[in-house]
Amino acid sequence: MTSIPPDPDTTTDTALEIKSRGEEYEAQHVHSVYEEIASHFSSTRYKPWPIVERFLKEQPDGSIGADVGCGNGKYLGVNDRVFIIGSDRSTNLTRIATRHAPHSAIVASILALPHPHNAFDFAISIAVIHHLSTPERRIEAVRCVLELLRRPSTPDAQDGGKALIYVWALEQKESRRGWDEGCEQDVMVPWVMKGKKEGGRKAGRKGRRRRKQGDGDGVGEQEQDEGSEHQMGAGQGDQEGEQEEGQKEPGDKTYLRYYHLYRKGELEHDIEEAGGRVVECGYEKDNWWAIATPKGDT
Amino acid sequence: MKLLTLNFLTCAIKTCKSSPSSFPLHPRDAELEIVEADLNLKFLENILPRLMWDELRVVVDELGLPTLPPTIPTRADLVAPSSPTSSSSSSDPAPSQTARDLHRILIETCVREGKLVCGNCGHEYAVKEGVANFLLPAHLV
């Protein structure tokens, strides 16, 4: 399979923009977008990723967990024998997430979580930390997740709480986006909200569409591909390398979200910088993931 | 927001976390609602060792709910004594009244509207339509 050129629709930042990154930047290029697309976004997010599902299911009964950046709460449905408090920056997504008994969901920033330190047995933060727009803020975000967890009983013990972190990978040349080593890591990724009256057109095209792994719908995370194309209306991005704008029809609206694409080893580096230890890590379908634990007090 | 959640919430402001008075958050002008839920005895048993009982009692008192017993129930307290006539070895144990009370308080009693106040800095976090919002204004981050 030949690699696909980077999506021309994905704009890279200028030096000027880099300087302005931070809280305000994320408010405009991440938070407000999710607030706008919450309902549509949520309808495309219901299939748990296998590694996350496994992590949640292997937690002992009665464990206390945090799902930082829980979105619509799709991971709150995986294990009802533990208690998870989900949190998300988007009120609209949090409202959807509160429907998952016996768990709970609150609105909060990953950088200012309203939880006691060292109180949680486990945490997950799935497709969240790549939305923070400076290296310092990403490392701080990892630190904030690790702070929630029980410390190990001794500096070398393995019994501390564990956090599973997922971020989008730079190395995903097999995906429709086609990014790979050497590409710009700070990108704006479009989300296209289809307007009305797409039904007939969609059905007609379905037959000659060819899906492949990682074939994004202008969305990014893999889960979009796995179970939701029928929900997405599929209009955008169904031919490789074709940009959303080309498929855009009257009534469609494009939102751009900021992402930092992680290169190999970068997530582990951030975890170390944040005072954590990497227990396990890997790559799965366009994403880097790691299980981290806080280092004991020395 | 169910009251169990309050057991794991403190002030979002970093400098407050080291202060014991930031936990628990204190409900103010709270409007409560009961959201019926199936009682999961195993879940209650499992969650029991994690409850900060004294703080939970404070919150329950502040909400004007019936006062909780001074000491935390044990696991055994949550199971109804099996009647001698029934051979209940194969069936699941039944929840006791204590378990039902605890389920009512922790899981079914929810703050629908109101505020949660930090006992250290006094910051108020709003609860609207059952969702608590801990986003801080820029100058407090």
Q: Of A93-102, B50-59, B118-127, give the lowest mean pLDDT range.
A: A93-102
Has residue B9 got a pLDDT over 60? yes
Partner residue facing A85 (CB), from B5, B47, B50: B5
pLDDT of residue A177: 80
Three-class secondary structure of residue A103 per DSSP: coil
Cα distance between residue A90 and residue A109, in whole Å: 9
Cα distance between residue A130 and residue A169, in whole Å: 9
Has residue A216 got a pLDDT over 50? no
What average pLDDT does range A245-251 have in this prediction?
Answer: 58
Cα distance between residue A172 and residue B112, in whole Å: 44
Cα distance between residue B103 and residue B34, in whole Å: 11
What average pLDDT does range A230-253 have in this prediction?
Answer: 41
Confidence band of B81 (pLDDT split at 50, 70, 90): confident
Cα distance between residue A291 and residue A146, in whole Å: 11
What average pLDDT does range B7-18 have in this prediction?
Answer: 96
Q: Which amino acid is present at B88?
A: S
Name residue, tokens 């479009």. A190
Q: Cβ contact (<8 Å) for B43 and A62?
A: yes
Give residue-wise pLDDT tens across range A79-136: 999 999 999 999 999 999 999 888 999 999 999 999 999 999 999 999 999 999 999 9
Has residue A234 got a pLDDT over 90? no
Confidence band of B89 (pLDDT split at 50, 70, 90): low
Does the domain made of A50-170+262-294 have the CATH classification 3.90.920.10? no
- A121-150: b or e for each residue (b if 16 or more CB lie within 10 Å)? bbbbbbbbbbbbbbeebbbbbbbbbbbbbb
CB atoms within 10 A of CB B71: 9
Q: Of A99-103, A247-251, B27-31, give the lowest mean pLDDT range.
A: A247-251
Name residue, tokens 């609602």. B33
Q: How close are the terminal C-alpha atoms of chain B, in Å?
A: 24
Q: Where in chain A is the domain with CATH 3.40.50.150?
A: 50-170+262-294
Confidence band of B86 (pLDDT split at 50, 70, 90): low
The chain A residue lying nearest B6, using CA atoms, is: A115
Cα distance between residue A85 and residue A65, in whole Å: 6
Q: Which of A95, A97, A106 is nearest to A78 (CA)?
A: A97
What average pLDDT does range B31-56 have in this prediction?
Answer: 94
The two structure tokens encoding residue B14: 């970093």
Cα distance between residue B63 and residue B109, in whole Å: 11
What average pLDDT does range B121-134 have in this prediction?
Answer: 97
Q: Are B51 and B73 in contact (CB under 8 A)?
A: no
% chain A with pLDDT above 70: 74
- Alpha carbon B94 to its chain centroid, in Å, reads 22
User: Among the residues of A110-265, which ranges form H helices?
Assistant: 135-147, 199-206, 223-227, 229-232, 244-247
Bridging pattern class, strands B26-34 and A287-294 = unpaired
Count chain A–chain B contacts defined by CB atoms under 8 A: 97
Cα distance between residue B42 and residue A85, in whole Å: 19
For A15, which DSSP code?
A: H
% chain A with pLDDT above 90: 47
Has residue B75 got a pLDDT over 80? yes
Residue A168: strand pairing partners: A287
pLDDT of residue B34: 96
pLDDT of residue A290: 98
Cα distance between residue A133 and residue A22, in whole Å: 6
Q: Of A29-43, A196-210, A244-258, give the lowest mean pLDDT range.
A: A196-210
Q: Cβ contact (<8 Å) for B141 and A109?
A: yes
Q: Which residues of B fall below an 8 Å CB-CB distance to A?
A: 1-2, 4-5, 8-14, 17, 23, 25, 37-38, 40, 42-43, 45-47, 49-50, 107, 125, 129-136, 138, 141
Three-class secondary structure of residue A184 per DSSP: coil
Residues from chain B that touch A112, judged by Cβ atoms under 8 A, are 12-14, 134-136, 141
Confidence band of A298 (pLDDT split at 50, 70, 90): low
Q: Cβ contact (<8 Å) for A112 and B5?
A: no
Is pLDDT larger for residue A104 or for residue A205?
A: A104
Has residue A145 got a pLDDT over 70? yes
* Four-point Cα dihedral A234, A236, A241, A245, nearest 10: 170
Cα distance between residue A40 and residue A38, in whole Å: 6
Output phi, psi for B56, to 5 deg. -65, -40
pLDDT of residue A58: 96
Cα distance between residue B83 and residue A10, in whole Å: 69
Has residue A17 got a pLDDT over 70? no
Partner residue facing A104 (CB), from B2, B11, B23: B2
Q: Which residues of A fall below an 8 Å CB-CB distance to B?
A: 23, 61-62, 64, 80-83, 85, 87, 89, 91, 94-95, 98, 101-102, 104-109, 111-117, 119-120
Partner residue facing B43 (CB), from A81, A106, A115: A81
Fold of B3-74+93-140: N-terminal domain of TfIIb (2.20.25)
Has residue A16 got a pLDDT over 70? no
> 3-state secondary structure string, A225-248?
HHHCHHHHCCCCCCCCCCCHHHHC
Q: Cβ contact (<8 Å) for A105 and B131?
A: yes
Has residue A204 got a pLDDT over 90? no
Confidence band of A5 (pLDDT split at 50, 70, 90): very low
Q: Cβ contact (<8 Å) for A106 and B131?
A: yes
Residue B108: strand pairing partners: none
